[in-house]
Amino acid sequence: MQLEVGTVLEGKITGITKFGAFVELPDKQTGMVHISEVAFTFVKEIRDFLTEGQTVKVKVLSVGEDGKISLSIKKANPPAPRAAAPRRAASSGRPGDFEWQSSSSSQSDSFEDMMSRFKAVSDEKIFDLKRSMDNKHGGFGRKPRGGNGPQ
């Protein structure tokens, strides 16, 4: 059977290495799925995603002149639609928790309106952070330093 680039097939995992997995295709051909083509997320340990003997759907990426077949599992299986992350009703007050798409704002807000809201929230957070740091360190200039100052 002549394989064509873009063909989606089912195969069986016959071996797993640090860099990928070998897949037995129909007609006893063998191809390899590189670790970067296993999943849509970062794969550190391939055995967390695949096991020997597992049947997988693969897409043919390339067939080399030397007969090497490059395969992809992630391109054969479109990513699952992301579920909308639940929105927080209020910010936790930590830096970086700014709600970029506020549920209370309408699409008709101008860029200037959005920037002024962002600046106001940012200023509040910086003020809170400075106040928190002053409380932790006792503030600056509260205690007079002894020694060389004016008498």
What digits encode the pLDDT tens for the residues 132-142?
777 766 655 55
Average pLDDT over every residue of 59-67: 90
Residue corresponding to tokens 């550190």: 44
Q: Is the pLDDT of residue 93 over 70?
A: no
Question: What are the contacts of 19-26 at 24+ separation with CB within 8 A?
Answer: 20/46, 21/46, 21/50, 23/56, 23/58, 23/71, 25/58, 25/69, 26/1
